[in-house]
Amino acid sequence: MDYRVTSATVEKTRELGRNLGECLRGGDVVALIGDLGAGKTAFAQGVGEAFSVKGPMTSPTFTLIHEYSGRIKGTEVSLVHMDLYRLKHPEEAEVIGVEDSFREDAVCLIEWPEIIEDSLPEDRLIVEILGSGEQPREIIFRAVDRAWEQRLKHQ
């Protein structure tokens, strides 16, 4: 199932992230796909707002993984934000412990997930952001599992 929406502003992209964040729960993995400057980090910041993350959420381009404490529906949950752009080989993901973040008390947002495609859980949500620069973005939510379809309908 694909659910498509257009975002004309960074604020709208953050709002869409915030809306998604409200239906996420521990153990969820969200793969964020898009070109440089598409708005993946802005979307992730919106998810962080839904989780009441304190302090600024920045792209983990150089550190690869940032972990934040958050709350969703009154439950303490970690929000793990990854940016795998700098990885050259899938084995590097194992070295930095990417799969260790796939746990029930965490939600993982992964920018540039293509490098670890074979290691991603099958039950994941793909969010593809098309466009860059000043043009509007088309954001496609691609559910692999029917349970995601139901959750997305209620956001």
In order along its 155 residues, the chain shows pLDDT tens digits of 788 999 999 999 999 999 999 999 999 999 999 999 899 999 999 999 999 998 788 777 667 888 999 888 888 999 999 988 888 888 888 878 788 899 999 999 999 999 898 889 888 999 999 998 889 999 999 987 778 877 877 55
| Strand pairing category for 65-72 and 75-83 | antiparallel
- At 14, give phi and psi (nearest 5°): -65, -40
3-class state of residue 139 by DSSP: strand
Domain ranges of the chain: 2-153
**Model pTM score:** 0.91
29/120 Cα distance (integer angstroms): 8
119/93 Cα distance (integer angstroms): 9
Strand partners, 6: 138
3-class state of residue 39 by DSSP: coil
pLDDT of amino acid 59: 77
pLDDT of amino acid 62: 67
pLDDT of amino acid 154: 59
3-state secondary structure 77-124: EEEEEEECCCCCCHHHHHHHCHHHHCCCCEEEEEECHHHHHHHCCCCC
**Thinking of the domain 2-153, which architecture would CATH place it in?**
3-Layer(aba) Sandwich (3.40)
